[in-house]
Amino acid sequence: MTSSPAKKLSVLLASVVLSVACAAPAFAQSGGGGAAGEDSDAAKPVAASKATTTKAQRKAARKQARAKKNAELKNLEANGYNPSRNDPNYPTDLQNAQKKAAAAAAASQ
pLDDT in tens, 37-84: 445 455 555 555 556 889 999 999 999 999 999 999 999 999 999 888
Measured distance CA(22)–CA(36) in Å, rounded: 26
Q: What is the pLDDT of residue 77?
A: 94
What's the angle, vertex CA 24, arms to CA 18 and CA 26, rounded to 5? 125
- Give residue limits of the domains in the chain: 51-109
Side-chain-facing half-sphere of 104: CA atoms under 13 Å = 11
Measured distance CA(79)–CA(37) in Å, rounded: 20
| pLDDT, mean of residues 21-29 | 63
Q: What is the C-alpha R_g of the chain?
A: 24
The answer to whether 48 touches 28, Cβ cutoff 8 Å, is: no
